[in-house]
Amino acid sequence: MLRALRFGIVGTGGIAKSYEAAFAGLDRGMLVAACDVDLAASMAFAGRVGATPYASFEEMAAAEQLDAVIICTPPCTHEAIAVYCLNRGIAVLCEKPLTISVPSAKRILAAATSSGSLFTMASKFRYVADVRRAREIAHSGEIGDIVLIENAFTSRVDMSNRWNSDAKLSGGGVLIDNGTHAVDILRYFLGTLTDVQIFEAKRIQGLAVEDTVRLFVRSASGIIGTTDLSWSIDKELGTFLHIYGSRGAILVGWKESRYHRSDSPEWHVFGSGYDKVSAFRSQIENFCDAINGTGELLITPLDALASVEAISAAYAALERNRWETIRSALDDVIPFPTVAHAEAS
């Protein structure tokens, strides 16, 4: 039996609590060290999980025999922490958004390549069981050729005192924050995204960054995807992902997921919705399997880079008010199959 991998976590704020819950009862890995510039916060977190607290990630990496590090700090700090750890041979799971610029993301990937250390970006919705099952159903051709995908992440959240709305720390507003999840989901279903357009709505919270946007993407295979993102409105939806095909539709919801074919009124329930702790645990387990060589990363370093490239292009589209080409380093992503291809395989 493989030993439990030793994890350190950098940043013990809100998102770290989700990892705390996910590690509880996990046999593949354990949190042995916690770091935060606020030592009191680090000590409180470490005390809850039985880890050693640190105020410096360099000190933590030097003092502990770590197999992996989870980075939960603001995006502007990700490159420095990730590169430092990767160069020390420590595998890195970095929270989204990966970085605030494409060159920064490329430097992280270069460090991973040169050091031979494993690297991935966290994107919890790829690990939601219903999302993965929805992709299988769509990939099978059950609802025909995919024509349109719609996604929405909207909720009223006061962002006036949160680092996510400080562009110097986060890289922007709701587009880079929630949009990173959206772009990763769209790529997961559609493959390579080639173009992006975006429209900003009225700013409600008086922030210096965007708080509500509508994003459009085109895939290499000609499918359109849309995403509504907001910190200031709630669309009151029971679902967050719709896949529309030529012969039916798939709805992925917060509490239930279902699909149907257009030649039948019957809806088929295939999942019980979004389970945050389960998604985080699945993400950690996938990372552990990849470190141990018993599985492959669901989100590769190139997937992480592609997310940054898409968001960068989206900001250019917002500034220039036009469709923007996504400049991508990816040329080997298999596009979403047509029905003919799916049925023949």
Residues 6+ apart with CB under 8 A from 73: 10, 11, 81, 95
The pTM (predicted TM-score) of the whole model is 0.92
Lowest mean pLDDT among 60-64, 133-137, 175-179, 340-344: 340-344
pLDDT at 340: 32
Q: Is residue 96 part of a domain?
A: yes
Q: What is the pLDDT of residue 25?
A: 86
Answer yes or no: do 36 and 148 share one domain. Answer: no
Cis bond before residue 74 (omega within 30° of 0)? no
> Would the pLDDT of 125 be above 50?
yes
pLDDT reading at 147 higher than 80: yes
User: Do 108 and 136 belong to one domain?
Assistant: no
User: Where does the pLDDT of residue 246 fall: very low under 50, low under 70, confident under 90, or very high at 90 and above?
Assistant: very high
- pLDDT > 70 in the chain, percent: 95
Domain boundary among 124, 153, 188: 124
The answer to the question of residue 258 being in a domain is: yes
Q: Which residue is listed with tokens 């989206």?
A: 314
Residue at 184 is within a domain: yes
Residues 201 and 327 in one domain: yes
Residues 6 or more apart whose CB falls under 8 angstroms from that of 311 comprise 97, 172, 175, 176, 179, 180, 183
Domain assignment present for residue 287? The answer is: no
Q: Are residues 118 and 174 in the same domain?
A: no
Q: How many structural domains does the chain have? A: 2
Asked whether the beta carbons of 60 and 70 are under 8 A apart, the reply is no
Query: Cβ distance 172 to 178 under 8 Å?
Result: no
206 and 240, same structural domain? yes
Same domain, yes or no: 164 and 59: no
What is the reported pLDDT for 296? Answer: 96
Residues 236 and 339 in one domain: yes
pLDDT digits (tens, 9 = 90+) for 187-239: 999 999 999 999 999 999 999 999 999 999 999 999 999 999 999 999 999 99
Taking a C-beta distance cutoff of 8 angstroms, is the pair 22, 280 a contact? yes
Same domain, 57 and 163: no
Domain boundary among 108, 124, 140: 124
Rounded to whole angstroms, what are the CA distances from 292 to 11, 28, 70, 92, 117? 25, 10, 16, 14, 12
Q: What is the four-CA torsion angle of 312, 184, 96, 177, rounded to 10 degrees? A: 60
Residue 161 has pLDDT above 80, yes or no: yes
Asked if residue 292 belongs to a domain, the reply is no
Residue 334 inside a domain? The answer is yes
- 338 and 194 in one domain? yes
CB 304 within 8 A of CB 86: no
CA separation for the pair 183, 305 (Å, rounded) = 12
188 and 335 co-located in one domain? yes
In which domain, by residue range, is 70 found? 5-124
For residue 290, being part of any structural domain is answered with: no
How far apart CA 226 and CA 14 sit, in angstroms, is 28
Collapse the DSSP code of 284 into the 3-class scheme (helix H, G, I; strand E, B; otherwise coil) and give the result: helix
3-state secondary structure of 131: helix
Tokens of 282: 């699945």
Rounded alpha-carbon distances, angstroms, from residue 216 to 3, 84, 135, 213, 235:
45, 36, 20, 10, 18
> d(Cα 252, Cα 344) in Å, to the nearest integer?
27
Q: Is 296 left (phi over 0), alpha (psi -120 to 50) or beta?
A: beta
Task: Supply the pLDDT for residue 329.
Answer: 67
Same domain, residue pair 170 and 69: no
Last residue of a domain, one of 106, 124, 142: 124
